[in-house]
Structure 1
């Protein structure tokens, strides 16, 4: 989920924790638990700092080791230890318990996004992405904000958020069946599909779709239960040529290829420069594919410049690649 949603979830868990008698009967424990749930709801995303290094490091590592099984165990211990230094009179076990719930819930809800996490590490490095909930879901965020307002105006926070989380549980079930319905319609439309990737959007009834079969990639969308194919590309393996071998060793290209399951490639010569572009097919928006990886090579197969990330216009991409256009 996005940072804002994780923040309100941390606050909500602090309110929910008041149902715990040990927390409810101790103002010090309640204060320390609130701090623990807020930090615990954020800490797995500490790897966002990798953006300051470069996009390749961020794409390759975000939601990786910081969302793994060892991290879910270690983060609560670390956070509890630090908070205990400032709240030595708190109940240590209950501080750890609610901090653990916050960390676990962060990783758990991220699994339902299209991006997913490597939550099964170290047992498996595969990405777990159920693709049911958008990274920012307006309904989920609004329900948390609504609960916080009720708390401010005097409602019991424990029971308020207990009811809200019961509603959200039902919401997740509805999203599961909505996705399964879209998947069934895609399977009927393309019976020989070997892989179907369905990504939610911020709109409840709208989904992005990327499909593979033996020979082609299909890009589609579902809107109010109707599935439509909007693009089709022939599946062409990456050529085993010196220029592609050189390009795929670049950090930006290799990061993209490690992350993207459905992509196509293009090659073009611009004066004396060869441009190789890889295009992720999952995120089509306004007839444009914004998630790309691009490398420029000279005649000696040396990488001149490269980039991977989200770009919504060719002009911005040129600026990223430091191309001066006349």
Structure 2
């Protein structure tokens, strides 16, 4: 999810920790836990430093090793122990490490519910896993946790009960969103006579509708599912190796294209002939919106099929849909 939401969840996890009488009785431990959950809630995204090595490196590594299966068990002591020492809470180092672990795990779980995906089962597999249930920013979760945090900040005497309620509702909300997703994808699978794995969906910001991509074999069908009705939008050809144009084949060795293929598996390629060469655009169909595909790798070639320039990334603002 977005950085602001992860940090907010760090605050509310610290509020939830006060349900433990030991945490509630020691201010230094409360401060240590708050620092641990705030930092732990953001720690997996420390891999954003890969932006310094360029967009291709960022695409390859973001939500990779730092979100992997062993990562929480490394982040927890690495962050929790020095935080406990810094706040004079060494006697409760185990508690601080535990809440750091919870914060890191909650971050990874929420990212798993998003459509971008995580490599959370590394080192056993480098497959990108995504449940496609939540947008990058979920207004309902943010509102609920934000309200709980504000009540705590202004001294509401029963804040601990509010935090328990909010996290209980969060679990119910995630389960409900997953159930709705399974129901909708089941209906789409029945309509198009396809296996569930050949259909991917993205939620809209408010969750009232879904956009989908169905793999029909030689092409992708895109559309919306709203109020029990399917609205088909477009069909796009699949980028099959045997059908690629020479210009598209010439870009396969470009760093950005290799990074793109490492991440994407619903791929459309478009070759445009220019006066002085070609523009080849590889697009991830999963993230289509209003006939556009904002996540892409674009390569410019000269007439001799030499790479002149390349770009990979999002061709949209962060506040524009799709919210992944």
What is the TM-score normalised by the length of structure 1?
A: 0.91
Instruction: Report the counterpart of residue 141 of structure 2 in structure 1.
Output: 140
Could you tell me which of 180, 183, 186 is aligned with 1:181?
A: 183
Report deviation, 1:56.
1.3
Aligned residue in 1 for 2:55: 55
Give the 5 Å matches for 1:26-45.
26-45=26-45
Whole-angstrom distance in 2 between the partners of 1:23 and 1:8: 20
Q: Is residue 293 from structure 1 mapped to residue 297 from structure 2 by the alignment?
A: yes
Structure 2 gaps, min length 5? 318-324
CA distance in 2, matches of 1:20, 1:173: 26
Shift of 1:48: 1.5
Alignment of 1:118 with 2:119, yes or no, is: yes
Q: Distance in 2 between matches of 1:286 and 1:213?
A: 20
Cα offset for 1:312? Answer: 4.4
Structure 1: give runs of 5+ residues left out of the alignment: 314-326
1:137 is displaced (CA, Å) by 0.5
Deviates more, 1:1-10 or 1:202-211: 202-211
Structure 1 CA distance for aligned equivalents of residues 237 and 98 of structure 2: 52
Deviates more, 1:88-97 or 1:153-162: 153-162
Equivalent position SS for 1:185? helix
Equivalence for 2:320: none
User: 1:171 — aligned with what?
Assistant: 173
Q: Where do 1:174-253 residues align within 5 Å?
A: 174-192=176-194, 195-238=198-241, 239=243, 243-253=247-257
Is the Cα contact below 8 Å between 1:208 and 1:221 reproduced in 2?
yes
Match of residue 269 from structure 2:
265
* Superposed CA RMSD: 1.8
Q: Please give the alpha-carbon distance, in whole angstroms, between the structure 2 residues aligned to 1:27 and 1:228.
A: 56
Question: Could you state the TM-score of these two structures normalised by the residue count of structure 2?
Answer: 0.91
Residues 183 and 196, structure 1, Cα contact 8 Å, conserved in 2: yes
Q: CA deviation at 1:240?
A: 6.2
User: Would the alpha carbon gap of residues 280 and 89 (structure 1) be closer, same or farther in structure 2, given more than 3 Å must change?
Assistant: closer
Write the distance in 2 (CA, Å) between the matches of 1:52 and 1:141.
Answer: 30
Q: Which residue of 2 aligns with 1:2?
A: 2
What CA distance in whole angstroms lies between the structure 1 residues aligned with 2:162 and 2:41?
A: 19
CA–CA distance in structure 2, aligned partners of residues 235 and 107 of structure 1? 31
